[in-house]
Structure 1
Amino acid sequence: MVDHLVGSDANLKRIQRIESAFGTSGIALVRKDRVLLGEGILTKICKKKPKARQFFLFSDILVYGNIVINNKKFNQQRIIPLEEIKLREIDDEGDIRNGWFICSQRKSFAVFASTPIEKQQWMDHINRAVTDHIREANVRVSATFAATMVPDSEAKLCMHCQKTQFTFVNRRHHCRKCGMVVCGNCSSQKAIIADQSDKPQRVCSSCAVTLKREGGGGLPREISANGSTANTPDSPVEEDSDDDTGYTGSGTARELDEKASFYERVPAAKRNSSEDEGQMI
């Protein structure tokens, strides 16, 4: 797809810049066979509210993180192997426009671009990168995908019992199996969900029954009053932990420089001139 960029100084400098921008909060990104295909800001739908996130599309992985200083510093690095990714369209409805789901084994979520053209560019390039990576690396494609978490704002009542009203005392929880927003009574168990984590995750009553019937990944266990899982030495992740906490940047996706940039579409002469100026393409 972009053989002319593999091992090039220009590509190496771009990846080193991103690696440096994540600092100690990220892992090493430089690899001799890895190519940076594009980058840009998308609005990611998180459990609490939509947030601007910086995305980087590489030839083998998709990386995103929190914006600390626009185009200069990021944290909370997240990496998704391309072979695990499947995209799904989100139909435009009212103010909800230009969105799609990024689904993977461990995490699935919705993102939104600022324009239909930008959305189509992102989806086309991610799909093309996934296809090329699977063909060239001969890797196994994911058959299962994590549920998309329903945003807190979409649920005034528990989506399981349809009775409990959420308040400061009655907190919202998310079932890690189906993604529904549920109350504490309807999500009093944790279970290991295959392909997501080797630690027990909070699940709703219905999914606990399903997992028990399937017999996979460990039987559901009750959650004690302090939030831990009874009769297990494991320390489960915080049930409502959100990988998008700690955002210290300012501005929305529309206020920041949100243009996606896809390098393989840019003629070599233009790429070189832009590199010298240090500008995004």
Structure 2
Amino acid sequence: MAGPEKKLERSKSGLRMIPVSEADTSPFCLPEPPWVPDGECKQCQNCRGKFDFFKRRKHHCRRCGRCFCNDCCQEKVNLPRMQFLDPVRHCQVCTEVSRKEEEFFDKHLKSLQNGGYFSVCDSDIGPDDASMFFTKLSPNHRHLLFEGDSDKHEPILIEKIETLQILPSGKDDEGNTIAGGIAIKYKDTTGGINVIKMMVDSGGNRKPGQIWIASMQKAFKMLYDARAK
């Protein structure tokens, strides 16, 4: 399945590559923030130094939109959550946040799209009636897709996931819990609440499924944190 069609857009913060259709916007993306108007910026919002036209000029952080001097807003960092093509100016606090998120976009998002094999059943069905599906994230990041040889399962809208629970399958030699599966509570297309259990395929290489589960945890945390703001 091909990814969504995109277009190049220039904003005051830089060049962005965004979907042609808003319906294809990734739930992991954030809109550009409004900039604090220049007339309201008399001093750096970090060090409180007063702005002038020579030594202490004002700059806006592309992630939070606040005003800072060059010393407090000199880092240029990748900002995939706002779909910028090149690194953009960040304040010190936002620099740390964006750098932590880079791993998600470089690693975990790709793992979710690569997918894994899981034994899948709804909460009201016993494990003996579970079906095997290849589960992956859709190209626009909006749905979990389930591909089976015969059985079908409706896609799950990522934004409708309410909770995740790791289902353990034991401990390793160091006493760490081994993820054997994941339970996802979500709202279906009718607004009803469902719980789906996905167990890592035990008949082959378990690692891709366990990596997928770890990446799904990261994805849900990012969405949950965004909802809490």
TM-score range for the pair, normalised by the shorter chain length: 0.3 to 0.5
Which TM-score applies when normalising by structure 2? 0.36
Higher relative contact order (CA 8 A, sep 6+): 1
Which TM-score applies when normalising by structure 1? 0.30
